[in-house]
A and B are shown apart, each in its own frame.
Chain A
Amino acid sequence: MNDFIAARSQMALSLGFHIVFSCIGMVMPFFMAVAHYYWLRTNNVVYRNVTKAWSQGVAIFFATGAVSGTVLSFELGLLWPTFMKHAGPIFGMPFSLEGTAFFIEAIALGFFLYGWNRFNRWFHWFTGVVVGISGLVSGILVVAANAWMNSPAGFDYVNGQYINIDPIKAMFNDAWFSQALHMSVAAFVATGFAVAGIHALMILKGKNILFHTKAFKIAAIFATVAAVLQPLTGDISAKDVAQRQPAKLAAMEAHFNTEKSAGLIIGGIPDVKNQKVDYAIKIPGALSFLAHGDFNAEVKGLDSIPPSEHPPVAITHYAFQIMVGLGMTMVLIALLYFIALVRKKSWRESRWLLKLFVLATPMGFLAVEAGWTVTEVGRQPWIIKGVMKTADAVTPMPGIVYSFYLFTAVYLSLALVVTFMLYRQIRMVDKLYDIPADTELPKH
């Protein structure tokens, strides 16, 4: 492994790690707010217990999200100084606003976690909602910064100089809306399915049924509604990519030759040398329709792009297939769940439906990781599309390989500890939270 590959891997690892925690940080506050709302409205103590149990878990995820985010804000400079030197002042606007969003989030979190029985009940509830909103806003802002890398705007690049800088234009670049929308919905899908899956498992095991059923339902409804919306927002993204990054679209679809009425390839093994895809299912005209809304439109293939600017085709293609495949599977589960809710009473308690949710626990997060792989690997070899190559941005310091190993070890152990703590949290539910209404919760 050379230093350049190591730097890319370290960046990918850190972001891949952080995104899990940031999704949870964005979405869980909304789940808690719903449970909390039911508690305040109905005085049903199970809802209070759900809220508290969740907030214990979320506090752990928050801390991990915050430190991994802090690491990222240094890593941008540690690994990509040349990029930051030029890009920082241009795409910095969302980051400077994000500072405010984070701050509000941290303050509201202090109120929420430590505010039980100390403030007006609805004020306390409201602080929880603020945590969610500011989390969502910060997510949208960072994604706007990332979108700028895909669709640079707000400056002129003349003779190697970056002039006429307009940070506001840079923030509202062409890609920000589609990416931010798709990402925000993705966070709900991923967190929703993960949480619903865990509670479904506990119901199947016959533990604290009342508690887990209420928790499951809240998470499942968020998850399924978002899952159905996700392909729609994905379609917006795809049309957008077709416009601004034909090379990325071609790599996603392993679409080698420019053609009219292009077919959509599902699955298959791209053979880059011979410019074909083996074992794929091909739907005629569908790619033209998905990319441009017209079955006869021309879709640019990799042959229209200089070979030195081709992204890695295989990785991008597989990642895209994985994301879409998982997305469609979750849509299916969502539809079954809706039928169960509306029509089939008997399905609602059925074990097979719960088992499906257990199976789907990791799917959302896998789709998120796959989606980011599409976005980031599909942009290669550019770090700022069409302006700066990734290879020109990397730090001159040798030995990044060791830094990569070190961070890999750290993130692996953190992931293990967090999983272990989550496991303990769930196992303790009956001791901590499954108690009659009139007893106070135990302290620890």
Chain B
Amino acid sequence: MLYVVIAYLWGAILLYLLLGGADFGAGIIELFTTRKNKDRTRKTMYRAIGPIWEANHMWLIIAIVILFVGFPAIYTTMSVYLHIPLTIMLLGIIARGTAFAFRHYDAVVDDMQVIYNRIFMYASCITPLFLGIIAGSAVSGSIDVEATNFADAYIFSWLHWFSVAVGLFTVSICGFLAAVYLIGETDNETDRKRFIAKTKSTNIAAVLSGALVFIAAKVQGIPLTSWIFGNWVGTVAIAGATLSLILLWYLLYRGKTRVLRLLAGFQVTMILLTTTFRHYPKIVLLKGNRYLSLVEDKGHDATISSLGWALLLGSLFILPALFYLIYSFQKKKSNVEAAHN
């Protein structure tokens, strides 16, 4: 059962990165859209993510619940030492979620919209930035559980070049995912072109910030390259991602955008795979060669097995319903506008 639970945890994180990420990305894209096009971007976005918006963010909750039920030591260690970035991320989640609903459901359309929009766009950047910082700190060995002063324990555990670089990388990945996703959601050629252009620029941003991650790792002595190239899974995955990058640009250039979504999803999956595979099952690396492991720090067996059953049973209900939701709104896209009253 342990492996079922771990698979669900990994899957929930991946899906949150892909779906929630595209969702954050939509706000990021909106921020980097010129004023005259903002309205059109917003419209496309509603059409694309409105119905599944709530569901996209459930993956985070699933991941957290799996952590605190199944791997309490991991959940609590991160909660204690990453208290500050977690709090900032939470504030971002609150601000973004409420602003998104408010601007859509406010009965009166007036200047308040400007405020909702601002909050939505900035929070869409800050939240993935801190998600990335949290993920970066978890693997960089910077969490210092023996620290004796406030700064070492609660600030430098997460504030360093590597985690910030991972944060920036996460932000650009989110923007990239959203841009690719939105191409398929447009109903006219101009918007399509605009999102293709956005795909190119966010992809460049992702590659550049990815490079930044490597540089930061080098500077801080984090063996990132050996995680990736030290085993064949990492090497194959990263090679696949790189090859698909070339394919992606070729297709963008030719204006063939059908398979782009698959490619983008594939790339992000490969990136998550390489970064987690090598040091699995040690998912949190702490200072001084300590670590937290999915195998050694798991909860009691009875808990793991009931958690596993709960997850399996839950999927039996959730997955068909979720697919039907996505399917019906894809198929009937044309009259979504009509349903928006």
Contact = CB atoms under 8 A, between A and B. Distances in A.
Interface stretch (B53-61, B182-190, B228-236, B283-291): B53-61
A104 B317 contact: yes
B135 to A, nearest CB: 15
A397 B80 contact: yes
A417 B303 contact: no
Contacts of A206: none
Contacts of A98: 65
Scoring B68, B97, B104, B338 by chain A CB atoms within 10 A of each residue's CB, the highest score goes to B68
Contact of A86 (B72, B97, B98, B307): B72
Interface in A110-150: 110-111, 113-119
Interface in A385-410: 395-399, 403, 406, 410
Contacts of B57: 66, 70
Interface stretch (A55-63, A231-239, A340-348, A358-366): A55-63
Contacts of A69: 61
Contact of B106 (A96, A103, A106, A424): A424
B240 to A, nearest CB: 31
A114 B107 contact: no
B64 A107 contact: no
B102 A421 contact: yes
Contact of B55 (A100, A107, A406, A428): A107
A115 B150 contact: no
Contacts of B265: none
Contacts of A205: none
B34 interface: no
A442 B108 CA distance: 13
Q: Is the interface of B mostly helix, strand, loop or mixed?
A: helix
A113 B51 CA distance: 8
A285 interface: no
Contact of B60 (A70, A109, A113, A396): A70
A428 B106 CA distance: 10
Interface residues of A, number: 76
Contacts, number: 223
B292 interface: no
Q: Is the interface of A mostly helix, strand, loop or mixed?
A: helix
Nearest to A81: B76
B61 A99 contact: yes
A260 B222 CA distance: 71
Contacts of B314: 96-97, 99-100, 103
B89 to A, nearest CB: 8
Interface stretch (A164-172, A210-218, A296-304, A370-378): A164-172
B336 interface: yes
Contacts of B55: 103, 106-107, 110
Nearest to A86: B72
B322 to A, nearest CB: 6
A442 B341 contact: yes
A62 B72 contact: no
Interface of A: 52, 56-57, 59-60, 62-64, 66-71, 73-74, 76-78, 81-82, 84-86, 88-90, 92-93, 95-100, 102-104, 106-111, 113-119, 165-168, 395-399, 403, 406, 410, 414, 417, 421, 424-425, 427-428, 432, 440-444
Considering the complex of A and B, which 8 residue pairs feature the smallest CB-CB distances, nearest first?
A92-B69, A77-B79, A63-B101, A100-B314, A89-B299, A106-B54, A81-B76, A428-B107
17 contacts: A59-B101, A71-B93, A77-B68, A77-B76, A85-B72, A89-B72, A92-B307, A93-B306, A96-B69, A102-B61, A107-B325, A114-B340, A118-B332, A119-B328, A396-B80, A397-B83, A414-B94
Given A74-B90, A116-B339, A444-B341, 4 more contacts: A71-B93, A77-B68, A89-B299, A443-B340
